[in-house]
């Protein structure tokens, strides 16, 4: 499954299913084929993403003894985080699957 996040304040963001599922869980949404993040909920969603990124980076630093190449959570969520910031400023919801 692919997620195509849409918002009137920004361009579309496309994520592969497992990554989209992870991001939705982080922001407190259950993965689903369709959904919405209301404008009023965006500040909390951004904060949740930033907290998850900080945790992911701390875990990666603690695991530095066995370095491996990976796409970090920060890299995965950055486009959606930017969309959320624009949507919050414009007071627009983010939808997917519609």
Task: Give the DSSP per-residue string, 38-66.
Answer: -GGGHHHHHHHHHHHHHHHHHHHHHTTTS
Where in the chain are the domains? 2-96
* 8 A C-beta contact, residue 82 and residue 10: yes
Please report the pLDDT score of residue 62 as a whole number.
Answer: 74
pLDDT in tens, 46-96: 999 999 999 998 887 777 655 567 788 999 999 999 999 999 999 999 999
pLDDT in tens, 17-43: 999 999 999 999 999 999 999 999 999
Q: Dihedral (C-alpha) 71, 74, 80, 81: value to the nearest 10 degrees? A: -170
Please report the pLDDT score of residue 66 as a whole number.
Answer: 56
Please report the pLDDT score of residue 67 as a whole number.
Answer: 59
């Amino acid at each position: 499954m692919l997620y195509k996040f849409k918002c009137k304040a920004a361009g579309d963001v496309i994520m592969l299913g497992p990554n989209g599922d992870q991001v939705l869980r982080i922001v407190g949404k259950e993965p689903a084929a369709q959904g919405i993040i209301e404008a009023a909920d965006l500040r909390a969603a951004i904060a949740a993403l930033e907290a998850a990124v900080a945790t992911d980076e701390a875990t990666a630093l603690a695991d530095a003894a066995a370095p491996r190449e990976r796409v970090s959570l920060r890299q995965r969520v950055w486009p959606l985080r930017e969309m959320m910031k624009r949507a919050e400023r414009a007071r627009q919801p983010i939808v997917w699957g519609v």
